Structure 1
Amino acid sequence: MSKKAFVALVTCFNEDETINFEATRAQVRRQVEAGNNIMCAGTNGDFSALTFDEKVKLAEAVVDEVNGQVDVIVNAGMPATFETLKLAREFDRIGVNAIAVITPFFIACTQDGLIRHFSTVADAVKTPIYLYDIPARTQNHIEPETARTLSAHGNIAGIKDSGGAKETLEAYLAVARDVPGFEVYSGPDHLVLWSLQNGAAGCISGLGNAIPQVLAGILNGFNTGDIAQAERQQALFTAFRTDLYALGFAPAMVKRALYVQDASVGASRQPALLPNAEQDAEITAILKRFDIIAGA
């Protein structure tokens, strides 16, 4: 079975910080044309700054624009199980391909609490659920043994690992090897090819917003057996990641790198990092160095 790349799609905003749905749809089309699948309302999509109704409308717009051409995953995770359930049921109604559930944030959870949380959501919908681990942002980590326990649930299809540690990713992959049908999607952009080679079902990438063809090139090379191509594209992806992320918080840098290419994506909602001219100049220089935009 071919491995899949999902892009954790940015949410585009107008100057007054309302969602720019037309610009967001344009980004969906750009990713579909590159051959990438879509995850919306994730970390790179400013999900924590969106209201309940906006997330529902965003999911509806993305599913409508995709029109079955690629898969769509939507993140329903919120601090409380109550609201997570409400969102998951809305996404279930809309007809997304899968629902990601980020670990609760602000509320400290035990592993037993996480098992209850994810199981309750998975019980309530027909759409497959993917666990979403990003402890740097939520302060709650899904231990590999917890993932193993949850993998026995008939409607929990896998996990998205955005922890950044290869050791944790390896532990999740060990669960996938032991549990048929349980999938691992890697989040760290420098580990895309490594994760594919070690049994991941695919990746969910933030950096792919800025350079979608490179991400698609890694997957295409791997899926067609052209590992040399996949290695070249991964090396380019990693080098771009290293230079861009050296400038600041990764999602903010990705959004700004995209903004420099296409201002219609807008800035992120406040209190996100405000861009400045010096940083924009550095981002522009990186984009020129990697031939993403034309040089002077």
Structure 2
Amino acid sequence: MPDKKEAFVALVTCFHDDETINYDATWRQVARQVAAGNNIMCAGTNGDFSALTFDEKVRLCGEVVDEVAGRAKVIVNAGMPATFETILLARAFDRVGVDGIAVITPFFIACTQDALIRHFTSVADAVTTPVYLYDIPARTQNHIEPATARILSGHGNIAGIKDSGGAQDTLEAYMAIGAEVDGFDVYSGPDQLVHWALEHGAKGCISGLGNVMPDVLARIVACVNAGDAAGAAAAQATYTAFRTDLYKLGYPPALVKRALFLRDPSVGASRQPALTPDAAQDAAIEVILGRYGL
């Protein structure tokens, strides 16, 4: 895999008070991440993808691509429970002109490993944009076993995997595949493992926490690319501590959105039923934000 590492932020989707998408506010978040040096993942877990309609996802992706205007990479999540709709979304994103299409494992529908192979192969066959497997079993209840990832790595249009499982041994197994298979890149999802993953073979990371700490995330990656292990470790220590403090309060994507909201109300709340604003919780988040100078 190429030596230069990269960070993607799983960008929040901004909403008006009536829960319609606020594109102006979303553009500002895109510009903020690009200015920090981060790439964009659109319609991911932190982007309320499961609460967006088909048409909203397609328009949102197009708006983000237009705002980025080639200054950073854009990947987008097309994963849905059924292969049929996943292919329809992937083809729509293919026409928009993204750099990659991530495909989260089907959720609600329990899948065998053979079913996952058929699912991802069908999507990769249907588009020309590189496809990235996306494993987050805690949310989907379906897990891409390393042996399955190895089989799929041989597909000419499957370019890598995002691992959000949180198990270091699984991430190691995925990275071993990346080390052996040209053109199969591994991206780490857990925020506490960014530095470790980059140092041990991951091409990059895709982080939700970067919505709130874009500069710290970018610093981890920049330090790794510059060979500054001490600088990367220091930035990672801050990132990990913030993650621990914030995520102990509840559902991580909603807390990331709420923390961002408390500093920029234009991002809006998450679509319901994710997180109802709560004065006591907001006060706890404020304390954490203050602790980290945010």
User: Normalising to structure 1: TM-score of the pair?
Assistant: 0.98
Name the counterpart of 2:55.
53
Give distance in 2, aligned partners of 1:173 and 1:221: 21
1:158-204 Cα shifts (integer Å, max 9, x gaps):
00000011111111111111211111000000000000010000000
Name the counterpart of 2:169.
167
Residue correspondence of structure 1 range 12-27 to structure 2 within 5 A: 12-27=14-29
1:209-247 Cα shifts (integer Å, max 9, x gaps):
001000000001000111111111000000100100111
Q: SS where residue 161 of structure 2 aligns?
A: strand
Verify: 1:80 aligned to 2:70, yes or no.
Answer: no
Structure 2: runs of 5 or more not aligned: none
Structure 1 residue 273 displacement after superposition = 1.8
Verify: 1:39 aligned to 2:41, yes or no.
Answer: yes
1:243-280 Cα shifts (integer Å, max 9, x gaps):
00111111111111101110000001111121200000
The one-letter amino acid paired with 1:271 is P
Give distance in 1, aligned partners of 2:137 and 2:247: 19
Verify: 1:224 aligned to 2:223, yes or no.
Answer: no
1:50-90 Cα shifts (integer Å, max 9, x gaps):
00000000000000000000000000000000000000001
Which of 255, 263, 266 in structure 2 is aligned with 1:264?
266
Q: SS where residue 40 of structure 2 aligns?
A: strand
Structure 1 residue 10 displacement after superposition = 0.3
Aligned length: 292
Name the counterpart of 1:112.
114
Which of 123, 144, 153 in structure 1 is aligned with 2:146?
144
The one-letter amino acid paired with 1:16 is D
The one-letter amino acid paired with 2:7 is A
Residue correspondence of structure 1 range 276-295 to structure 2 within 5 A: 276-292=278-294
1:134-155 Cα shifts (integer Å, max 9, x gaps):
0000000000000000000000
* CA RMSD between the two structures: 0.6
Give distance in 1, aligned partners of 2:209 and 2:139: 17
The one-letter amino acid paired with 2:105 is T
Verify: 1:273 aligned to 2:275, yes or no.
Answer: yes
Q: SS where residue 152 of structure 1 aligns?
A: coil
1:28-71 Cα shifts (integer Å, max 9, x gaps):
00000000000010000000000000000000000000000000
* Identity percentage of aligned residues: 72
Give distance in 2, aligned partners of 1:260 and 1:227: 33
Deviation beyond 6 Å, 4+ runs, structure 1 = none
Q: SS where residue 272 of structure 2 aligns?
A: coil
Give distance in 2, aligned partners of 1:222 and 1:261: 29
Name the counterpart of 2:126.
124
User: Which moves more between the two structures, 97-106 or 174-183?
Assistant: 174-183
Name the counterpart of 1:181.
183
Give distance in 2, aligned partners of 1:2 and 1:281: 40
1:86-132 Cα shifts (integer Å, max 9, x gaps):
00001000000000000000011100000000000000110000000
